[in-house]
Amino acid sequence: MKKLNSNEFRQEVESGKGLTLVDFSATWCGPCKMQGPILEELASEVDYQIFNIDVDESDDIAGQYNVNAVPSLMIFKDGVLKDTLVGFHSREAIEEKMAKFQ
């Protein structure tokens, strides 16, 4: 799972093609620390991109997408936000939600 800064986010996600999952998180967030390993494992097994945005380092992107709680998982398709999952989610819940957009 690649960590993106604001400029990389614009290139990889907003200008990207296909399905993308973006994890908005923070280093101080307990649920984010639990979510991370699930996303890392998933990233090595799926055919879509999974990226991480640190909300403290990229507060402009977090503000643009109204990230009010972390972790927030946002699903993008061809650069367009399709859905958001707020809080910790199981691998199964993430896979089920992503399948709706594939």
Q: Show which residues are catalytic.
A: 29, 32
Q: For residues 77 and 60, what is the distance between their CA atoms, to the nearest angstrom?
A: 21
SS3 25: strand
Q: Are 68 and 29 in contact (CB under 8 A)?
A: no
Q: For residues 91 and 14, what is the distance between their CA atoms, to the nearest angstrom?
A: 24
